[in-house]
Structure 1
């Protein structure tokens, strides 16, 4: 009986240490910066990610009414630098949200992959590109 209790206690310690060893992934952006004003329907995204094992992540651009763009950003040696196109916004304020591939299937699944926001940046759209 004593051996069983020691075994169960050891097993619980191993499980606890495995749970606490999961590292938090951090996305660092050099572009876009918080509050950036977008004057075209192109968005430059650049920066780095803390986990070198992650080879891509997803993004969604919203204008407060709907999603005007989404896609996949490929990471090269922990860094990314890409310009993407998005649809004409219908509002002057927007948000760019970044997500990991939670189900690890390679494609963006709005229900699963958007449960945890990796990073979020508020942007504004210049009135010259807003179509109300």
Structure 2
């Protein structure tokens, strides 16, 4: 799992630790959403993102936009682009957290797998989006 940060929690990076806690507490639901969106669109829309501004909500981050951002930051996101290229949606969740002009990679392999989480929860994409966005609004304050 790629959670946590060695930086102290300050106003500038508080969103990162709040996002970490949210992801950790909602792994099954995020895995179900990730799989449901994969079934719906594959990777045609890009990578799922969690945009924290103005209020937390889900977006798609098109591949072209991630590549352009990488160019703008002197290839400092090259590792993220490689992880996106090798993403295995049937076993792992991959999302990009977006907040305060920064990005944070969210990647984890849930137990059970994303397809099993989706089957067990029995909710459709809209229900999962509504549930998770409501929870985010209560837990992540930027």
Give the shorter-chain TM-score range. under 0.3
More strand per residue: 1 or 2?
Answer: 1
Larger RCO of the pair (alpha carbons < 8 Å, separation 6+): 2
More helix per residue: 2
* TM-score, normalization by structure 1: 0.26
Q: TM-score, normalised by structure 2?
A: 0.25
If you compute each CA radius of gyration, which structure gives the higher value, 1 or 2?
A: 1
